[in-house]
């Protein structure tokens, strides 16, 4: 999903990403690590074209898909994980795919 910013060349993108449960070590309870394999979420980034490239900035916002109904402790674990990493570097492949799709349309 994407939204253009009026009066600028920036675009807001909601990019689907998958987080492996094993990546949430230290944030997830042991029982949850055994129950879940991965979590599908969407991250919100602002993309701006710059010299033939796209600069992306994670806004700190993310969401579960409409079908993802995780308990609060899982949402907290995901949030804490995202706050502990460089989101744009960690999901570079997914961001590139979304931006390539943007360039083709």
27 or 52: which leads in pLDDT: 27
Sheet strands side by side (includes 53-63): 2-4, 11-20, 38-50, 53-63
**Residue 81 confidence (pLDDT) above 90:** yes
Could you tell me which residues come within 8 angstroms of residue 54 by beta carbon, excluding any fewer than 6 positions away? 47, 48, 99, 102
Tens of pLDDT, residue by residue over 9-47, are: 888 999 999 999 999 989 998 888 889 999 999 999 999
The pLDDT assigned to 49 comes to 85
């Amino acid at each position: 999903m994407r939204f253009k910013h009026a009066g600028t060349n920036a675009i807001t993108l909601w990019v689907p990403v998958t987080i492996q449960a094993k990546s949430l070590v230290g944030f997830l309870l042991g029982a949850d690590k055994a129950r879940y394999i991965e979590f599908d979420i969407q991250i919100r980034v602002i993309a701006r074209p710059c010299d033939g490239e796209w600069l992306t900035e994670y806004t700190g916002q993310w969401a579960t898909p409409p079908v993802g109904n995780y308990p609060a402790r899982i949402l907290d674990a995901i949030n804490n994980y995202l706050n502990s990493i460089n989101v744009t570097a960690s999901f570079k492949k997914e961001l590139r795919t979304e931006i390539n799709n943007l360039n083709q349309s």
